[in-house]
């Protein structure tokens, strides 16, 4: 299968690979996908006091497009507010990486990973507030 | 050594070998593999498919590569018959190649009804007679584009048109015609068209079946699902590459080459007839392939004739290559109503790229000598 | 060393240059049709075909008269199985085969189910080998044919052919062997193994594509119903003009294999073991699929846990390998052969078949092994699954949101 240059670049030099301390209050962790389906994405965000995402890390088990989608998302969410991050749509990811139709699900998974990370962060904040 | 048996097989053209070479070595991957070696192989196959598609006026997806004309004919007729549960009728001409005729016999054992329509004395199948045999239960009609022994061209345009009106599938064996005469899928067939590479300067072991988009066939070979599931088995990569190049070469120079060959062929016939007035040219008054000349001399034995010509250094055939192991008169001539004494004497001369005026002239002289010799011997013996 | 490195010899093999040399004149100068019995062009072609037939026969210890040329192993498999089944239909309607067979065998069997044949698809053990007791138990008085392959195209395991042959012969059941992967690689003897029908492919043993053969036993005589009808070539079992250059090349390729097999298989085995130990020294959570002993010397199939297959292929893109049978690698379905060994889908997806062959060198093997180690290490560093495993989490306890 021939890959697009942007996918190859993210695959060969993935940005923001790594992990943050899951237990930290200001960290939100989202894990989406399943091994049996061929992709698992873990996206982590650190949110500062102003509600801005100050850092993002990922780890992905999946094809080159899945790795590229998650790598791209970590770049995009950094510096965005939570609401801005939630506004990222899978189509933008797919367009940026020129994903072929069979790989669109990778961009969907990346969008889901953002939502899952934000949900985790918010549930921690809610728990703290109680 | 002069070879005048191009309807049996042809040498592979040097340009074709040249094109095939890389696919024997650096581009020799399995076309089913997704890595670079596989993709290079796949590209070679795709290119040939496009070439054939352009020549015949069909979409790439309508071409199934096979191991040759025999497989194409088997796949076409067996594939159609199996889809119809081996029910109904198949109408074929009485002058088909064994790979059509014996499939019909096999299908008969499966329960299908077969009608064989005879040619007239010129070797021509009448389109009206074919269509008169088509009834409500007829699944398909099979008539070859031109006969391999006599070279007589059949009224396929008319049959194609009539079959379309009657909504009946028209299969046509174009093995002997492709590269020798202009061929257009929708004009000359419209249903299923069988092709072979080694008759037009391509390699042996490869052919194709071209089919209309509306048709689905039961496969003959099951397995890896190559050729969109219609013909399993790792593709004959070099063969397919060579087929495309050979077809293009043959078609590009077609008009010029055919007028050259028909002039040579006619001069051969004229010389022989002039020297030996009792010479009979089979299908003389019919429209024939430019390169083919089938002749006979009542009372002589065709096999003896070709053996003597071979000793003199000339390769010709006494009938269809596939059946020349036998000495009975050809099935085709019998169907034309030719009597046995004349039928047994037939030889077929088929010219090709390397035939030239000098070779034909020398051959004519040799043929005349040999026929005279055998005639006087048979008079003494008789 | 040139990149890419070809390690997909079970998919197809590059033709041996010595083979092409002998083929060449048969395209351009000696182009006769072997069926043309009336002139010298035909005769010399016929002589060449008969020489090829003898070379093929010798490699499997058969008589040349028992060799039927075909367009390849797929056609041979179809002709053997469908041809025998249809001929012996009156005798019985039961055929036994194995779930890990090549598609050409399995799909032909499936097709025969539609012709009222009853097919038993035997399972294999986790090492890919057939349990002879299971085979024996499946045989009935209706069984007419057993089809078991010589060497598996994906995992390289070699079934106990001689034992299977003995079981079949004792019950007068025909034994067909798809030996496309094993002929020319390991010693195959149709008499010692009691094989009645055997499929061979030209392009898997450094010969040309588009040609193969079916061995059909003469004593006791095995009969077939033809698939392709026509001029009555190949004693009526397979009509169609014989592709002389391909047959000449196929024959030569067989003779080269016969002469060099012993040394070459020892060389390949040592290269394969070198590669295997190099990889296994550096990586954990990996496994070889298929039995290591009863195996083609040039095959190594490894599953890399916690690494996704496609990204793995991407990481070693300078190596031409397969992640399943070449015939099905375009599909996203995990390999049915690996599933038959009991592998989970994820593990099947992350399996790579390394096919070593005549041009494989020690340098290439080392380079590929190192590349694989590097790729797996990198992808595991990227993998959340690997991270969890390192943390001691049992992945099977996780409830995944499947999408």
Average pLDDT over residues C185-206: 98
**CB < 8 Å to C379, chain A:** 61
Note whether B162 and B237 are same-domain residues: yes
Per-residue pLDDT of C377-386, as tens digits, reads: 999 999 999 9
- The confidence score (pLDDT) of residue C159 equals 98
CA distance A79 to chain C (A): 23
Residue C325: which pLDDT band, with cuts at 50, 70 and 90? very low
Would strands C351-355 and C299-304 be described as parallel, antiparallel, or unpaired?
A: antiparallel
Per the domain annotation, does B319 fall within a domain? Answer: yes
Per the domain annotation, does B174 fall within a domain? Answer: yes
Note whether B77 and B127 are same-domain residues: yes
Cβ distance C395 to A42 less than 8 Å, yes or no, reads no
Cβ distance B203 to C27 less than 8 Å, yes or no, reads yes
Per the domain annotation, does B8 fall within a domain? Answer: no
Average pLDDT over residues C276-289: 97
**CB < 8 Å to C306, chain A:** 61
Per-residue pLDDT of C100-119, as tens digits, reads: 999 999 999 999 999 999 99
| Cβ B195 vs Cβ B183: under 8 Å | no
**CB-closest option in C233, C239, C241 to B9:** C241
Q: How far is CA C223 from the centre of its chain?
A: 24
**CB < 8 Å to B12, chain C:** 27-28, 31
Cβ distance B38 to C72 less than 8 Å, yes or no, reads no
Tell me if chain C has a CB within 8 Å of the CB of A38. Answer: yes
| Cβ C395 vs Cβ C335: under 8 Å | no
Note whether B107 and B207 are same-domain residues: yes
Size of interface A-C (CB pairs under 8 A): 75
Note whether B133 and B272 are same-domain residues: no
Catalytic positions of C: 327
Residue in C closest to B220 by C-alpha: C227
| Cβ B66 vs Cβ B79: under 8 Å | no
Running DSSP on this structure, what letter comes out for residue C200? E
**CB-closest option in C307, C310, C385 to A64:** C310
Question: For testing the chain C interface, which of A17, A21, A61 should be mutated: the one with the most C CBs within 10 Å?
Answer: A61
Average predicted confidence (pLDDT) for chain C? 94
- What is d(CA C338, CA C154) in angstroms, rounded to the nearest whole number? 8
Sole residue written with tokens 């019998």: B334
Look at residue C142 and tell me whether its pLDDT is greater than 60.
yes
Tell me if chain C has a CB within 8 Å of the CB of A80. Answer: no
Residue A130: which pLDDT band, with cuts at 50, 70 and 90? low
Give residues with Cβ within 8 angstroms of B326, minimum separation 6: none
Tell me the HSE value of A23 on the side-chain side, using a 13 A CA sphere: 0
Tell me if chain A has a CB within 8 Å of the CB of C401. Answer: yes
- What is d(CA C199, CA C78) in angstroms, rounded to the nearest whole number? 9
CA distance B233 to chain C (A): 5
Catalytic positions of B: 322
**CB-closest option in C31, C37, C327 to B325:** C37
Q: Is the peptide bond before C4 cis (omega within 30 degrees of 0)?
A: yes
- The confidence score (pLDDT) of residue C403 equals 54
Number of domains in chain B: 2
Per the domain annotation, does B131 fall within a domain? Answer: yes
Which chains form contacts with chain A, at 3 or more CB pairs under 8 Å? C
Average pLDDT over residues A14-37: 92
Note whether B222 and B259 are same-domain residues: no
Residue B71: domain span: 14-252
Last residue of a domain, one of B230, B252, B274: B252
Find the helix or strand (DSSP H, E) in which C349 lies: helix C345-349
Which has more confidence, B25 or C10? C10
Note whether B259 and B231 are same-domain residues: no
- The confidence score (pLDDT) of residue B382 equals 55
**CB-closest option in C24, C38, C40 to B317:** C38
Per the domain annotation, does B4 fall within a domain? Answer: no
Q: What is the CATH number of the domain that holds B195?
A: 3.40.640.10
**Own/partner pairs for A50-54, CB < 8 Å, 24+ apart?**
A50/A81, A51/A81, A51/A82, A52/A79, A52/A80, A52/A81, A53/A77, A53/A78, A53/A79, A53/A80, A53/A81, A53/A82, A53/A85, A54/A78, A54/A79
Size of interface B-C (CB pairs under 8 A): 270
Q: Is B179 exposed, middle or buried (0-12, 13-18, 19+ CB in 10 A)?
A: buried
Residue in C closest to B35 by C-alpha: C320
Per the domain annotation, does B283 fall within a domain? Answer: yes
Note whether B273 and B162 are same-domain residues: no
Note whether B158 and B261 are same-domain residues: no
CA distance B165 to chain C (A): 30
Which has more confidence, C310 or B236? B236
Residue in C closest to B322 by C-alpha: C231
CB contacts under 8 A, C 315-344 vs B, are: 317, 320-322, 325-330
Q: Which CA distances in Å does A80 have to A46, A111, B33?
A: 11, 15, 44
Cβ distance C403 to A40 less than 8 Å, yes or no, reads no
CB contacts under 8 A, A 50-69 vs C, are: 59-64, 66-67
Note whether B243 and B258 are same-domain residues: no
Note whether B319 and B242 are same-domain residues: no
**Predicted structure pTM score:** 0.93
Per the domain annotation, does B376 fall within a domain? Answer: yes
Lowest mean pLDDT among A1-15, B184-198, B227-241, C1-15: A1-15
Note whether B191 and B109 are same-domain residues: yes
Give residues with Cβ within 8 angstroms of C385, minimum separation 6: A35, A40, A61, C306, C395
**Cα-based angle C89, C92, C94 (whole degrees, multiple of 5):** 105
Last residue of a domain, one of B206, B226, B252: B252
Tell me if chain A has a CB within 8 Å of the CB of C386. Answer: yes
- The confidence score (pLDDT) of residue C348 equals 86
Sole residue written with tokens 């584009």: B145
Running DSSP on this structure, what letter comes out for residue C81? H
- What is d(CA C21, CA C401) in angstroms, rounded to the nearest whole number? 59
Per the domain annotation, does B330 fall within a domain? Answer: yes
| Cβ B67 vs Cβ C71: under 8 Å | yes
CA distance B348 to chain C (A): 11
Lowest mean pLDDT among A119-123, C191-195, C270-274, C397-401: C397-401
Per-residue pLDDT of C333-391, as tens digits, reads: 678 999 999 998 888 888 999 999 999 999 999 999 999 999 999 999 999 999 999 99
Average predicted confidence (pLDDT) for chain A? 92
Last residue of a domain, one of B232, B252, B272: B252
Find the helix or strand (DSSP H, E) in which C315 lies: helix C309-315
**CB-closest option in C314, C379, C385 to A35:** C385
DSSP sequence for C143-171: EEEEE--SB-TTT-BB--HHHHHHHHHHT
Distance spanning both ends of chain B, measured CA to CA = 33
What residues are paired with B55 via a beta bridge?
none
Cβ distance B315 to C231 less than 8 Å, yes or no, reads no
Tell me if chain A has a CB within 8 Å of the CB of C393. Answer: no
Look at residue C254 and tell me whether its pLDDT is greater than 50.
yes
Find the helix or strand (DSSP H, E) in which B296 lies: strand B292-296
Note whether B236 and B345 are same-domain residues: no
Catalytic positions of A: 37, 106
Cβ distance C382 to A14 less than 8 Å, yes or no, reads yes
**CB-closest option in C310, C345, C385 to A40:** C385
Per-residue model confidence as pLDDT tens for chain B (382 residues): 899 999 999 999 999 999 999 999 888 888 888 788 888 999 999 999 999 999 999 999 999 999 999 999 999 999 999 999 999 999 999 999 999 999 999 999 999 999 999 999 999 999 999 999 999 999 999 999 999 999 999 999 999 999 999 999 999 999 999 999 999 999 999 999 999 999 999 999 999 999 999 999 999 999 989 999 999 999 999 999 999 999 999 999 999 999 999 999 999 999 999 999 999 999 999 999 999 999 999 999 998 999 999 999 999 998 644 444 546 788 999 999 999 889 999 999 999 999 999 999 999 999 999 999 999 987 766 5
């Amino acid at each position: 299968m021939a890959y697009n240059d942007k996918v190859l670049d993210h695959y060969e030099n993935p940005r923001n690979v790594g992990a943050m301390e899951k237990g930290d209050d200001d960290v939100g962790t989202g894990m989406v996908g399943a091994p049996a389906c061929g992709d698992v994405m873990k996206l982590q965000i650190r949110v500062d006091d102003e509600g801005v995402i100050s850092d993002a890390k990922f780890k992905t088990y999946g094809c080159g497009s899945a790795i590229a989608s998650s790598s791209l998302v970590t770049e995009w969410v950094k510096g965005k507010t939570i609401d801005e991050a939630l506004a990222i749509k899978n189509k933008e990811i797919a367009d940026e990486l020129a994903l072929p139709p069979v790989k669109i699900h990778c961009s969907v998974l990346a969008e889901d990973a953002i939502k899952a990370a934000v949900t985790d962060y918010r549930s921690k904040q809610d728990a703290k507030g109680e | 050594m002069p070879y005048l048996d191009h309807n049996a097989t042809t040498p592979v053209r040097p340009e074709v070998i040249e094109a095939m070479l890389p696919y024997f070595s650096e581009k020799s991957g399995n076309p089913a593999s997704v890595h670079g070696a596989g993709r290079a192989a796949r590209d070679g196959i795709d290119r040939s498919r496009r070439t054939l598609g352009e020549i015949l006026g069909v979409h790439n997806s309508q071409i199934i590569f096979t191991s040759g004309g025999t497989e194409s004919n088997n796949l076409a007729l067996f594939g159609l018959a199996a889809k119809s549960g081996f029910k109904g009728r198949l109408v074929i001409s009485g002058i088909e190649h064994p790979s059509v005729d014996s499939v019909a016999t096999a299908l008969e054992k499966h329960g299908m009804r077969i009608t064989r329509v005879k040619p007239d004395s010129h070797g021509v199948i009448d389109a009206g007679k074919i269509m008169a045999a088509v009834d409500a239960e007829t699944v398909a009609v099979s008539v070859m584009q031109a006969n391999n022994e006599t070279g007589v061209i059949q009224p396929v345009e008319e049959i194609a048109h009539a079959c379309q009106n009657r909504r009946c599938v028209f299969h046509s064996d174009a093995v002997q015609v492709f590269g020798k005469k202009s061929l257009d899928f929708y004009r000359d067939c419209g249903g299923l068209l069988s092709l072979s590479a080694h008759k037009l300067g391509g390699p042996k072991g490869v052919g194709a079946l071209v089919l209309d988009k509306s048709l689905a066939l039961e496969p003959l070979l099951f397995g890896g699902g190559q050729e969109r599931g219609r013909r399993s088995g790792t593709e004959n990569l070099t063969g397919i590459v060579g087929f495309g190049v050979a077809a293009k070469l043959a078609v590009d120079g077609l008009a010029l080459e055919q007028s050259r060959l028909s002039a040579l062929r006619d001069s051969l016939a004229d010389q022989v007839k002039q020297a030996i007035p009792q010479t009979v040219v089979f299908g003389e008054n019919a429209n024939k392939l430019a390169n083919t000349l089938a002749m006979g001399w009542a009372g002589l034995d065709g096999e003896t004739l070709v053996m003597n010509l071979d000793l003199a250094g000339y390769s010709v055939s006494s009938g269809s290559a596939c059946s020349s192991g036998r000495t009975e008169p050809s099935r085709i001539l019998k169907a034309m109503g030719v009597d046995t004494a004349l039928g047994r004497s037939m030889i077929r001369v088929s010219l090709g790229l390397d035939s030239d005026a000098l070779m034909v002239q020398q051959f004519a002289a040799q043929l005349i000598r040999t026929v005279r010799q055998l005639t006087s011997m048979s008079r003494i013996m008789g | 060393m040139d990149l890419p490195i070809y390690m997909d010899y079970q998919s197809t093999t590059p033709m041996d240059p010595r083979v092409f040399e002998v083929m060449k004149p048969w395209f351009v100068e000696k182009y006769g049709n072997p069926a043309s019995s009336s002139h010298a062009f035909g005769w010399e072609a016929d002589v060449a075909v008969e020489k090829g037939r003898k070379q093929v026969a010798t490699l499997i210890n058969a008589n040349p008269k028992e060799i039927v040329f075909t367009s390849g192993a797929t056609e041979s498999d179809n002709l053997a199985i469908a041809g025998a089944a249809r001929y012996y239909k009156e005798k019985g309607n039961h055929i036994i085969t194995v779930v890990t067979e090549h598609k050409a065998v399995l799909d032909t069997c499936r097709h025969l189910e539609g012709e009222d044949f009853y097919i038993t698809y035997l399972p294999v053990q986790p090492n890919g080998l057939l349990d002879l007791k299971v085979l024996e138990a499946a045989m009935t008085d209706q069984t007419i044919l057993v089809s078991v392959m010589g060497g598996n195209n994906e995992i390289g395991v070699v079934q106990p052919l001689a034992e299977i042959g003995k079981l079949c012969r004792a019950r007068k059941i025909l034994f067909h062997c798809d030996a496309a992967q094993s002929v020319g690689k390991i010693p195959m003897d149709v008499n010692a193994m009691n094989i009645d029908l055997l499929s061979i492919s030209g392009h898997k043993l450094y010969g040309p594509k588009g040609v193969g053969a079916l061995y059909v036993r003469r004593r006791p005589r095995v009969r077939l119903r033809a698939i392709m009808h026509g001029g009555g070539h190949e004693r009526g079992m397979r009509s169609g003009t014989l592709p002389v250059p391909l047959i000449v090349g196929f024959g030569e390729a067989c003779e080269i294999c016969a002469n060099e097999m012993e040394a070459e298989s020892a060389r390949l085995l040592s290269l394969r073991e070198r590669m295997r130990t190099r990889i296994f020294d550096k990586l954990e959570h990996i496994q070889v699929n298929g039995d290591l002993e009863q195996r083609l010397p040039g095959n190594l199939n490894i599953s890399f846990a916690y690494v996704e297959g496609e990204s793995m292929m991407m990481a070693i893109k300078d190596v031409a390998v397969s992640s399943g049978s070449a015939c099905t690698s375009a599909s996203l379905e995990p390999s049915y052969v690996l599933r038959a060994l009991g592998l989970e889908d994820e593990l099947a997806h992350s399996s790579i078949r390394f096919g070593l062959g005549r041009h494989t060198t020690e340098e290439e093997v080392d380079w590929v092994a190192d590349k694989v180690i590097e790729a797996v290490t990198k992808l595991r560093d990227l993998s959340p699954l690997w991270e969890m495993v390192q943390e001691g989490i049992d992945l099977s306890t996780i409830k995944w949101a499947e999408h």
